[in-house]
Amino acid sequence: MTTGTKLRNIGPKSAAWLRQTGVRSQEDLEAVGALAAFVRVKRAGFKPSLNLLYALEGAILGCHWQEIPDERRSELVLAAGEEVAKLPLPKNKRMPAAGPVTTTRNDEDETADLGLDDPSSPHEDDA
């Protein structure tokens, strides 16, 4: 937040995330809203827990995040789930599905021809 301004319920790590997404003051948070601020943090690639969502709501309402009623928490969680589902997947999650897997086995004769040990026989070191 801006110098000398600390949002209620928001620790230094969360405050840094919020600053990086353009939420720098109580006024910014109130203008954006708890849900949108939370989604901005997710969109930026951070991995906030739902506690941040509750903390943001508490900061707007001027109460401790644990005082947010269960009904309101449920509303926030549902709305956050819908909004986060709209976000594009991170690049590392967009890989195409792998093709079918095949296993190649060698005959015993081929193994002997290659000079490889028979895996079923005990090794010298095991004796």
The domain spanning residue 19 has which CATH number? 1.10.150.20
pTM of the model: 0.67
| Domains: count for the chain | 1
Cα-based torsion angle of the residue sequence 11, 13, 15, 16 in order, rounded to the nearest 10 degrees: 160
Decide if 29 is inside a domain: yes
Q: Which residue range is the domain that position 16 belongs to? A: 12-88
Residue 104 in any domain: the answer is no
**72 domain residue, yes or no:** yes
The answer to whether residue 124 sits within a structural domain is no
Q: How far apart are CA 88 and CA 41, in angstroms?
A: 14
Q: For residue 111, is it within any domain? A: no
Which residues contact residue 69 at a Cβ distance below 8 angstroms, ignoring those fewer than 6 apart?
none
- Please report which helix (H) or strand (E) contains residue 34, including its range: helix 34-43
Please check whether residue 44 is in contact with residue 21, taking contact to mean a CB–CB distance below 8 angstroms.
yes
Q: What is the pLDDT of residues 14-29, one digit of tens each?
A: 999 999 999 999 999 9
- Give which of 37, 17, 19 is closest to 5, Cα–Cα: 19
Cα Rg for the chain, rounded, in angstroms?
A: 27
In a domain, 118, yes or no: no
Q: What is the pLDDT of residues 63-121, one digit of tens each?
A: 999 999 999 999 999 999 999 899 887 666 555 556 676 676 766 555 555 555 555 65
Alpha carbons 76 and 60: distance in angstroms, whole number? 14
Residue 34 pLDDT > 90:
yes
Whether 87 and 39 have beta carbons less than 8 Å apart is answered as yes
Q: Terminal CA-to-CA distance of the chain, rounded, Å?
A: 69
Rounded to 5 degrees, what angle do the CA atoms 16, 17, 21 make?
A: 115
Q: Is residue 35 part of a domain?
A: yes
* Within-domain flag for 108: no
